[in-house]
Amino acid sequence: MTPEQQQVIDLYLSTKLPYSVIGDQFGFTRSKVAGIIDRHCPKDAKKRGTPGGGRNKPRRKDAFVVSNNAVIYGPPRNPRESRGCRWINGDPAEAWAYCQRKQQPGSPYCGEHHAKCYRSPETVRAARANSKQAKREYWETA
């Protein structure tokens, strides 16, 4: 066993971090970390702290370990990488960013921008009816 493999096992046993976070620390893939732990770690030490072997902490790509149990998350992403509402503020040809407010369930937009983008079927029917009526009136007067 190499010293790096021993460090991987020690980190896993002390923090129980997800394999992907440990792999990010050492420049390994999640699969390589899983293989190291599966081959070199005692079988009863591999059990996770939650029933069914699930993760204790949410997995995020920007996580890194500061001390034994502290996980720190990196700086916020680029404003052009959406984490919330995907409404574009600004001119798309120049400087722009996503709105980033919390998304409305089932929509890529927040409530305000969802209302601007989507119309209910009743509103669409009413608009079509008004449009047909306006066309009839136009042609009748012409």
pTM reported for the whole predicted model: 0.34
- 19 has a pLDDT exceeding 80: yes
pLDDT tens-place string over residues 24-49: 888 888 888 888 888 877 666 655 54
CA dihedral 95, 100, 104, 107 (to 10 degrees): 40
**pLDDT at residue 137, rounded to an integer:** 79
Residue for token pair 């996980």: 71
The CA angle 81-110-106, to the nearest 5 degrees, is 95
Helix pair angle (30-40, 19-26), 10° resolution = 100
Cα(17)–Cα(31) distance, rounded to whole angstroms? 14
DSSP state of 115: H
Task: State the average pLDDT over residues 98-127.
Answer: 85
- Tell me the three state secondary structure of residue 97: strand
Per-domain boundaries in the chain: 3-73, 88-141
**pLDDT at residue 69, rounded to an integer:** 53
- Structure-model confidence comparison of residues 58 and 30, the more confident one: 30
Task: State the average pLDDT over residues 86-112.
Answer: 85
Reported confidence tier of residue 81, pLDDT bands at 50, 70, 90? low
DSSP string, 28-82: --HHHHHHHHHHHS-GGGG--SSGGG--SS---TTEEESSSS-EEE-PPPPTTS-
**pLDDT at residue 125, rounded to an integer:** 85
Question: How many other C-beta atoms can be found within 10 angstroms of the C-beta atom of residue 99?
Answer: 18
**pLDDT at residue 52, rounded to an integer:** 44
- 64 has a pLDDT exceeding 70: no
Ranges 23-32, 55-64, 105-114: which has the least confidence: 55-64
For the chain, the average pLDDT equals: 75
Amino acid letter for position 128: R
